Amino acid sequence: MKVKKLKGFRDVLPEESPAWIKLEQVVSQIFTRYGFAQVRLPLLEQSTLFSRTIGEATDIVEKEMYTFVDTGGEQITLRPEGTASAVRAFVENGFDRSNPKARWYYIGSMFRRERPQKGRFRQFNQVGVECFGWKAPGADADVITMLWDLFTALGLSGRVSLEINSLGCADDRKAYSDKLAKYGAERIDKLCDNCKKRLGKNPLRILDCKSPSCQEATADAPSPVDSLCDECTEHFSTVRILLDDQGVPFKVNPRMVRGLDYYSRTTFELLTTELGAQNAVAAGGRYDALVEQLGGRPTPGLGFAIGLERLILLLGDEWASADTPDVYMVYTGAEAFLMAMRLRRLLMLRSTTTTIDFEQRSMKAQFKSANTCGAKWAMVIGESEVEKGEVTVKNLAESQQQTLSINNAIELVSTKIIASDEE
């Protein structure tokens, strides 16, 4: 019996990987310009890290985490998101004491046991950003603008929309939560069973419920924006002014609460209408209490995460294509094979991509493969080339060929390739 991959897990095969590589390059380039540096954090953490930060009454912690006891008896969890680990690392490495301002980003896999669908997997990848140490609204605007610049660089700014909201500080959130609990209790018959439970534990989550009856019941629910204190109102207003000034288009969505418990003040999402129910491509917000909550010195912070599978779906197949080899080595006979292997190596040392077949097939078959794989040149070594120590260089697209010394052949092909790369 053949072993199959787990449900909700994927293989990224060579035809898809150029898009992943290109995406990581664009991300690093833009984020580096904004002063963000990459961190690489563990995939496994102590389970309590997530239950304490994401929140006990969230879908992730209630039912989606891959948690198990390892052979040492420790309860551990495959990370469902990156912020908790980043904050843990920030505190554990003493950044909160020595250098409380930091701009970090990461790229990597997250694990959530949800129902797999298009754009929803059990192992998925995120690019995440965490910006520590700035309480001021400039940081919010900067991080959101960077996200917008990335989508613009990817050519997607016309296909996503940015929504923002503010949940206020802890006091505002508490006041709002009470207001919403009261509002929900008055409509309890119309809420799904899950939301009935949420009402006692975490009323904000009823706004996030995907059930149509809950959405209808909460259609005119109070907005967190109406419960903001003066300072939070001012903060939110400055974020909007700064975004306007940067020309970043956004809409205020007063219902946006986000699925994780740690957010305060600004929250935001990048949405698309092109992926069905999976409409969020990126999401984030401020989490000013999280560092302290994990035992660090009080340090404000904010961040976002982008779902890369959804982003790659949006970018489509045409966005990045597999590299084709520059040169195909065509040879006949044992001695020609040795020459071909040596020549291939010299070409590769000069940054030329080459390919060769080891099975000593007919020249005709080799030419056919050269055309199918999209090589631009063939280096042909037959009996007469072996005798004279030469090589025939064939431009496959133009069907032109010339026989040259080995050095001249290398020179010709590598300069032509450099020239065509620069075009």
Residues that bind ligand ATP (CB under 6 A): 81, 112, 114, 119-121, 124, 126, 259, 278, 280-283, 305, 307, 309-310
**Shortest distance, position 238 Cβ to ligand ATP, whole Å:** 24
CB of 313 to ligand ATP, least distance (A): 10
Phi, psi of 264 (to 5 degrees): -140, 160
> Considering the complex, what minimum distance in angstroms separates the CB of residue 330 from ligand ATP?
45
Helices then strands, each counted (H, E), the chain:
16, 16
- Give the residue with the Cβ less far from ligand ATP, 272 or 332: 272
| Cβ(288)–Cβ(267) below 8 Å | no
Distances (CA, A) of 177 to 62, 99, 152, 196, 300: 20, 34, 36, 14, 22
- Of 306 and 409, CB closest to ligand ATP: 306
- What residues form DSSP beta bridges with 60? none
102-111 and 37-38 as β-strands: parallel, antiparallel, unpaired? parallel
Residue with smaller CB distance to ligand ATP, 55 or 100: 55
In the complex with ligand ATP, which residue's Cβ is closer, 277 or 348? 277
**Helical residues (DSSP H) of 258-307, grouped into ranges:** 290-293
Element (H, E) at 241: helix 230-245
Minimum CB separation of residue 381 from ligand ATP in Å reads: 49
Closer to ligand ATP at the Cβ: 280 or 340? 280
Nearer of residues 305 and 417 to ligand ATP, judged by Cβ: 305
Nearer to ligand ATP, 120 or 240 (CB): 120
Least distance to ligand ATP, CB of residue 112, Å: 5
Burial of 87 (0-12, 13-18, 19+ CB in 10 A): buried
CB 145 → ligand ATP: shortest distance, Å?
18
Q: Cβ of residue 299: shortest distance to ligand ATP, in angstroms?
A: 21
Nearest to 147 by CA among 276, 31, 249: 31
Helices (H), 70-217: 83-92, 95-98, 137-153, 170-186, 193-201, 212-217
Q: Pick the closer one to ligand ATP by CB: 238 or 278.
A: 278
Contacts of 80 (CB under 8 A, 6+ apart): 50, 54, 60, 64, 65, 66, 110, 111, 112
CA geometry: angle 377, 345, 339, nearest 5 deg: 80
| Chain residue whose CB lies nearest ligand ATP | 307
Least Å from the CB of residue 402 to ligand ATP: 53
Nearer to ligand ATP, 154 or 282 (CB): 282
How far is residue 169 from each of residues 83, 177, 232, 326, 335, measured CA to CA in Å? 19, 12, 7, 58, 77
Spatial contact of 41 and 106, defined as CB atoms under 8 Å apart: yes
Question: CA 241, 244, 245 angle in degrees (round to 5)?
Answer: 85
In the bound complex, what is the minimum distance in angstroms from residue 218's beta carbon to ligand ATP?
16
